Amino acid sequence: MSNYTCLLIEDSMIQARVISQMILRTGWDALVALDLKSGLTILGKEPLNLVISDLALPDCQDGSTIAQIRRAAPNITIAAISAGGRDGQLGSALERAKGDGAEFLLQKPLTQERLQEVLTEVATRLETGSRLPHVLVIDSSRTVRKVCETGLKEHQFRVTTGASLEEALEHVDVLDLDAVVIQIDVDAQEGASYVTQMREAFPGVAIIALSDRGDGDIARRSWMKTLDAGADIALAKPFSPDDLVSSVRNGMAMAASAFLAAAKRGG
């Protein structure tokens, strides 16, 4: 990956030094700017393949960091750095970063492994000229996870799997995610709230809820609660690989439309 160059925009000199050294260890070249103005100047002069920028910079306090980078370089890949946490304020910041054009999220404290994952994925996209949609599959059953993973990969999806939502939130980049396929117990009281939690954690991402289909009015009402809570598609078990792929594609289209509509309403 030595032919690729990354611009790091980070206002902390210590953090900039540490992260730039991590970038160099991956085989990429690194340029550093300590504020947005300097970063935009470098962006206009140097051939770059990736910009990694902190969301909060001293000369950009209005939350438009990613938007300004995107305007300056419409085709470059952007990774946003956040300070971590998952409160409402961060969720709003991530939603705006995604709407403004960031493709990846890097949370502090940064690890070499996580940075390597992002740079490897960016290099793959540069070499192939394409990006495979990324689907997260969450189910307590290893067999179900494997069946979903195999079926989706056969249709050109990237797939990450996890046994629980909590586990997934620790390791998945919410900006580099297109759909979540997750087991939901529609008979449980917390089923709908679980979907609401995911909708807040994954703005603009399709949610496909899997469940054993029960019989009667209670089951139907439970399904409706799941959809009302934010799921895009409710898929009953057992399902075929084609059913899953179709549900993921339809869910992605629905989620993208809803996200764009929300962004327009927000101005």
Q: Write the pLDDT tens digit of every residue in 190-226.
A: 667 778 888 877 778 999 998 876 555 656 676 777 7
pLDDT above 60 for 231: yes
The CA angle 81-49-58, to the nearest 5 degrees, is 35
Please state whether the peptide bond connecting residue 241 to the residue before it is cis, i.e. omega within 30 degrees of 0: no
Homologous superfamily of domain range 5-128? Response regulator (3.40.50.2300)
The beta strands (E) that lie in the chain are given as 5-9, 29-33, 50-54, 77-82, 104-107, 134-138, 158-162, 179-183, 206-212, 233-237
Convert the pLDDT of each residue in 238-262 to its tens digit: 899 999 999 999 999 998 888 777 7
Range 134-265 has CATH code 3.60.70.12: no
CATH 3.40.50.2300 domain extents, the chain: 5-128, 134-265
Convert the pLDDT of each residue in 99-117 to its tens digit: 899 999 888 889 999 999 9
pTM: 0.78
